[in-house]
A = this chain, B = another copy of it.
Amino acid sequence: MSETTTPATAAALDDRAAALDAADPLAALRERFVLDDTVYLDGNSLGALPKNVAGRLAEVVEDEWGRLRIRSWDESGWWTAPERVGERIAPLVGAAPGQIVVGDSTSVNVFKAVVAATRLAGPGRDEVLVDAATFPTDGYVAASAARLTGHTVRPVAAGEMAAAAGARTAALLVNHVDYRTGELADLPGITAAAHAAGAVAVWDLCHSAGALPVGLDEHGVDLAVGCTYKYLNGGPGAPAFLYLARRIQDRFDSPLPGWNSHTDPFAMRPGYEAAPGAVRGRVGTPEILSLLALEAALEVWEGVDVAQVRAKSLALTDFFLECVAALVPDGRLEPVTPAEHARRGSQVSLRCADAGAVMAALIERGVVGDFRRPDVLRFGFTPLYTGFADVLRAARVLADTVR
């Protein structure tokens, strides 16, 4: 990193940003979002608002709830929305139809998936491996699932997970992209290692869905859970999704067998009989307003190729790292996100002294990322609405702030 930037360097970076923006095949997608002059690099926490959501939600409230009321469960398709919205997510994570259902929080879905994974693995296995650097809720919920099913939890670094899975392992719970460092885990390798050990891997896709091709079917994943309010822009607290691979659906034994996953819910029979298909992942009545806002938000993906999203994501994070290296005084920031593409998600995390104060100053100056204790600045790059000029501006404000 250089102590000072020459005018020539500055102009060269401007030229580079302009050229990258001009060549960006996804540039026009930005028009599908409500944005302002903020450089919003926190889409890995809450995605920006797609323009079509407000109108659609007003229609849901005024027409479907206000006018049709109870009839909307049938006539407006509310009842089947969890599966229908799942089908919109499926191609974004490499899943054929019929395997994704939307509803409940990520935490609740992690619980379903981990308990079900231990049941799929069968008896005689006493441990659940949990990503040692996991987003905390996964760890808390996995510990509860293990307590209830008679397993113990063993924390293992994602990079050592494949080697750690063995004859005692019932389930593995792994974050596809580490929320703090932005490191991308080896989903194909860990999934294969889990299978080789007779165990079931559960993938948390919160920081990868919508940011990169996941390839759930291609890599033989059994169970996955993901968030829809980050790179999928579904709105604050939008319901999570649950992927149940077709081949395990008949054996998916949910710890939360609510009436919405009954094979004949309106028979209201006293005994539970699980529905076939991904519906089996449902529990209770879905929060329709949040769910249908998500459905509208997913329309921004029409015609979008996730491979192009990934290419742009890597170009954005590469360019940000390049700008930071060129502009930020030496020693002030240390990248913690891997430089290697194959190990990088769609965010850049930088270790920084006084990171909390630095992020507050950045936000004050119109560059919004976030801060993760104790010392990490986190910048998420949503390829659908982030441009290369945004990246350069963010790096300049950052350099100026930490100087």
Contact = CB atoms under 8 A, between A and B. Distances in A.
Interface stretch (A103-111, A181-189, A191-199, A346-354): A103-111
A272 B143 contact: yes
A289 B57 contact: yes
A256 B144 contact: yes
Interface size class of A (residues with CB under 8 A): 35 or more
Contact of A54 (B45, B61, B69): B61
Interface in A276-326: 283-291, 293
Interface stretch (A15-23, A133-141, A209-217, A394-402): A133-141
A155 interface: yes
B283 A136 contact: no
Q: A45, A67, A236, A268 — which one has the most chain B CB atoms within 10 A of its CB?
A: A236
Contact of A136 (B45, B115, B262, B293): B262
Interface in A242-272: 254-260, 262, 265-270, 272
Nearest to A236: B288
A283 B108 contact: yes
Q: A67, A141, A144, A237 — which one has the most chain B CB atoms within 10 A of its CB?
A: A237
B108 A284 contact: yes
Interface string A38-78: 00101001101100011001100110111101111100001
Interface stretch (A121-129, A166-174, A367-375): A367-375
A239 interface: yes
A290 to B, nearest CB: 4
Contact of A257 (B134, B141, B268, B368): B141
Interface of A: 34, 36, 40, 42, 45-46, 48-49, 53-54, 57-58, 61-62, 64-67, 69-73, 78, 104-108, 111, 115, 132, 134-137, 139-141, 143-144, 148-149, 155, 180, 229, 235-240, 254-260, 262, 265-270, 272, 283-291, 293, 363, 368, 370, 372-373
6 A-B pairs closest in CB distance = A105-B284, A107-B284, A107-B258, A236-B288, A287-B290, A137-B259
16 contacts: A36-B67, A46-B73, A49-B61, A105-B284, A106-B284, A107-B283, A107-B284, A136-B265, A136-B268, A137-B259, A140-B262, A180-B268, A236-B289, A240-B284, A267-B373, A289-B293
